Amino acid sequence: MAATLTTISAPARIHPTAIVEKDVEIGSGTSIWDNVHIRQSARIGTQCIVGEKTYIAPNVLIGNRVKINAFVYICSAVSIADGVMISAGVIFTNDRYPRATTPDLLQLRGSEPDEHTLPTFVREGATIGAGCRIGCDLVIGRFAMVGMGSVVTKSVPDFTLVVGNPARAIGYVCRCGQRLRPAEGTPVTSKARLECEDCGRFYALEDGAVSESGAKV
């Protein structure tokens, strides 16, 4: 069987110290910086930035216009959608019960994905702050924001701001990243109209879930 070749679309930029294994796809306009390691069968879209000393595991899927800063660890079973920001020092995980060996301590467990490997999905436009730790079998929602140093142990809804260890919701954020406030004349209840004072977008809040209810005005 013929070997599977890596596909790097011009004009992608690959630093000479980066390690790119076989069957990797890298889209046009993407920059891979120094000492990055991209494992086999990973997929990276167009116009992305992958910062120095970042590790991307086999079969990881990364969308378009994703910004990944330095020293990020992205393990197998992670999928990252378009427009996501992953700040420096973020670590993803994929196993809730990790062990180095079999129970009798006589054999190392393999590192390849198995029945214990659980997925993580980061949806469009989300931001993960510096130094965060991301659990597995969860979803970080569209345009959600995870504050720096947070430990995420459960899914984060769309447009929700979470912080802490374990991460907890403390508010809501706009597409532009600014905090959302109740629109003028709107009481703070389980059902409210939220507004971004910075860009003028409106959102609907109902029972803790935020949805887009109006275009920028």
| Domains annotated on the chain, with CATH | 1-99+116-173 (2.160.10.10), 176-217 (2.20.70)
Q: Which residues pair with 203 in a beta bridge?
A: 194, 212
Mean pLDDT score of the chain: 92
Q: How confident is the model at residue 189 (pLDDT cuts 50, 70, 90)?
A: low
CA dist 4 and 43 (Å) reads: 14
pLDDT digit string (tens) for 111-165?
Answer: 888 888 999 999 999 999 999 999 999 999 999 999 999 999 999 999 999 999 9
Q: Please choose, from the candidates 45, 43, 85, the residue with its C-alpha nearest in 3D space to the C-alpha of residue 63.
A: 45
Q: Which amino acid does the sequence have at 201?
A: R
* CB contact at 8 A, 82 and 100: no
Task: Tell me the C-alpha to C-alpha distance, in Å, between residue 14 and each of 4, 18, 76, 124.
Answer: 19, 7, 22, 25
CA dist 42 and 35 (Å) reads: 16
Q: Which residues pair with 209 in a beta bridge?
A: 206
The per-residue pLDDT for 186 is: 64
Strands 160-163 and 168-172: antiparallel
Q: Is pTM beyond 0.85 here?
A: yes
The span from the first CA to the last CA of the chain, in angstroms, equals: 58
DSSP of 104-172: TSSSBPPSS--TT---EEE-TT-EE-TT-EE-SSEEEPTT-EE-TT-EE-S-B-TTEEEETTTTEEEEE
User: Does residue 214 surpass a pLDDT of 70?
Assistant: no
